[in-house]
Amino acid sequence: MARVSQFLMSSFRSGSGTSIVATKEDDVTREVDLAAEEMAYRMLREGFKEGGVLYAEERGVYRWGDERYIFVLDPLDGSLNYAAGVPLFSVSLAAGRYKEGALSDLEYAVVAVPPTGDVYTAGPQLGARVNGKPVRRVSRSNIVFVAVSNGFPEKTCEVVRRLGLRGRSLGTSALELAFTAEGAARGFVDLRGKLRLLDVAGALTFGKYVSGFRYVIYGDTRPDSRISIIAGDEEFVNATTAL
């Protein structure tokens, strides 16, 4: 993902790629989204010539060869931030052997943050790492990341109020979940039923290797499904699901 991150940051600095080329439901596709996705697809196809299935944010499913591997990609999570000139966005990729075509297949993950240069990685042998260093979750804030949109659920407000937390939204769910996994936030809540699993597959796969991090998904666990999710430490997840 290094080349994709470099491309995104270079485009962001030059102010290019912000034009909208397609609209889908409550989301839009920009030039930079498509360009980053195509770049990642070409690299994956070249690096895994045997075969793969790529679930991607903009153009759906790409298939090649014997389809032995599964990849789940969001080429630019936080495109509204990108377009507005806010330097907070990420690119995420999760991968594994294709078995069921679901979240459970994913074993490896990368969540890269082009504006800061931070890289979250995970895999069976190395566990979860940030910039190459092992992650040991230490809860250090009373922040909960909440998904905000025109359809802001009252239940989300109730979680923040009842648990005495401070709600925040950064505009990039993958990064918010990665922050939550490492303990920079108590939890993450998106109860809208609009979040696509592929937006956060990389962060959730990263979180699988962080002791003390839990999540509950409401909905199908196929990459292109729309879900609601509660994530954080065990106490937070239990208290939130109880509400």
Sign of the dihedral through C-alpha 51, 122, 77, 32: negative
Distance CA 44, CA 56 (A): 12
How many CB atoms neighbour CB 163 within 10 A? 16
pLDDT of residue 186: 94
**Model confidence at 152: pLDDT above 90:** no
Q: What are phi and psi of 46, to 5 degrees?
A: -75, -40
Structural domain harbouring 173: 143-242
Q: Is residue 62 domain-shared with residue 107, that is, in the same domain?
A: yes
**Model confidence at 231: pLDDT above 90:** yes
CATH of the domain at 32: 3.30.540.10
- Confidence category of residue 151, pLDDT binned at 50, 70, 90: low
Q: Is residue 121 domain-shared with residue 152, that is, in the same domain?
A: no
Q: Is residue 208 domain-shared with residue 230, that is, in the same domain?
A: yes
Q: Is residue 117 domain-shared with residue 153, that is, in the same domain?
A: no
Q: Is residue 107 domain-shared with residue 200, that is, in the same domain?
A: no
Q: What are phi and psi of 113, to 5 degrees?
A: -120, 90
Q: Is residue 115 domain-shared with residue 94, that is, in the same domain?
A: yes
Question: Closest Cα partner for 206 from 112, 67, 117, 140?
Answer: 112
* Mean pLDDT, residues 127-137: 94
Single out the residue in 134, 157, 184 at which a domain terminates.
134
Spell out the alpha helix ranges (H) of the chain: 2-14, 31-47, 79-84, 154-162, 173-182, 197-207, 234-242
pLDDT of residue 74: 96
| Contact present, 77 and 101 (Cβ < 8 Å) | no
Distance CA 101, CA 185 (A): 30
pLDDT of residue 243: 80
Single out the residue in 134, 161, 191 at which a domain terminates.
134
**How confident is the model over 14-35, as pLDDT tens digits?**
999 999 888 876 678 899 999 9
pLDDT of residue 22: 84
Distance CA 193, CA 220 (A): 11
**How confident is the model over 183-206, as pLDDT tens digits?**
999 999 999 999 999 999 999 999
Q: Is residue 107 domain-shared with residue 205, that is, in the same domain?
A: no
Mean pLDDT of the chain: 93
**How confident is the model over 33-62, as pLDDT tens digits?**
999 999 999 999 999 999 999 999 888 899
Q: Is residue 116 domain-shared with residue 187, that is, in the same domain?
A: no
